[in-house]
Amino acid sequence: MKRTWLAGLAVALFLVQAASCTTQQDLGDRPGGDGDGGPPNGDGGGDGQQPAAPMRVFVTKSTYTGNLREAARRPGGLEAADALCQLSADGATLGGHWAAWLSDRNMDAIDRIDNDGPWVSLPSRYGNGKKKIFLDRAGIGAGPIESFTDEYGNDGAGYAGSYRTGSSPSGRADGNDCASWSLASTGTYDVCALDKLLCLEQKVAGYRKRVFVTSKSFAADFAIGHYPFESADGLCGDAAKAANLGGKWRAWISSYSSGTFRAFDRLGGRADSWTLVDGSTVAFSSRAQLATGPEHGIDRDEFNHAVDAASPVWTGTPAQGTTSTSSNTCSDFDSKSNGIFGIVGIVGETSAKWTESTPLTCDKTARLYCFEQ
């Protein structure tokens, strides 16, 4: 959706949009769960404490069509949006790490923001001091408390026009994601036409997350009758919850039903490195390694127990994190037929075989890789 904040009464505390917003089920209401790992044990990938100093927020001066992937030359829409926010911040010499307030069909905006605020505006070019814009993460979708600036400190950026969110006021996906941010439009009022991005500063500590391979193996039809992603995420969430890991988790799988349903895209753009669940053994020190292989094989389960090397892991995902075909995803993980195949990765591998090895027939069982988000 597009969010438009009109200049109005200066005394207004919040600008709440409700009637004009498309409602959407929370991921937790979809089949298979939302990958919630339960109460945290340890730091859960972030310390959960409010930072001593507020973080910053701005709306981009530049506008972009709904094809954010092309604008940023990135394979994932959310990753592209984050890259455009970072590029804007770097161009204005702001420093810091930045993420876009944006949802797609696989991830909600509110789950992409590690911190709980508050966020303040940048200093205005016209001498106005910093203003508190969002008190906490839950209030972002409802709208800013006051007008904010673009990355250069130009006043009124939050009221001049609109910015793109793909989200309802609750921060959940509203279905208007321009085909996972790969579709452009020239229509003036189309959600995929030119628009700005809302960029929120993030704590650096939130960029390193955890990854594990499940202790259990699953039949290839684990998504029967449901969405493959939500089903796999639910299995990852259940595993994380059993180990009291906390956090939100996504499975490394792809779907053949749309070219936009790729494992790489499902990791969003927030984290850029992952450790095993011990929090110190680095599996991926950069997102680029997802395509080439981890520096340390993913060989520990959710309980930090060693997993047998060479165990198969359902991925449906060739190297590069791209989408496979129906014959290589066990019909979107909806079949146990021995006449079709599913791509698997191999536990402990540090080459591209971590995600793509010799396919298994779908009457077999395999584990899942689970990435913290």
One fold for 1-202 and 206-372: yes
Query: Residue 126's pLDDT band (boundaries 50, 70, 90)?
Result: low
Among 16-25, 174-183, 247-256, 293-302, the range with the most confident prediction by mean pLDDT is: 293-302
- Indicate whether 343 pLDDT > 60: yes
pLDDT at 247: 82
Q: Name the average pLDDT for the chain.
A: 79
- Give the model confidence (pLDDT) of 4-17 as tens digits: 433 332 323 333 33
- Give the model confidence (pLDDT) of 242-256 as tens digits: 999 988 898 998 877
pLDDT at 270: 58
Closest CA to 329 of 250, 229, 245: 229
Those residues whose C-beta lies under 8 Å from the C-beta of residue 362, and which sit 6 or more positions away, are 220, 221, 330, 331, 335, 336, 337, 338, 340, 341, 342
- Which fold is adopted by the domain 206-372? Mannose-Binding Protein A; Chain A (3.10.100)
- Give the model confidence (pLDDT) of 60-74 as tens digits: 999 999 999 899 887
Distance (Å, whole) CA 348 – CA 136: 40
> Spelled out in words, what is the top-level CATH class assigned to the domain 1-202?
alpha beta
Q: What are the boundaries of each domain within the chain?
A: 1-202, 206-372
Q: Give percent above pLDDT 90 in the chain.
A: 39
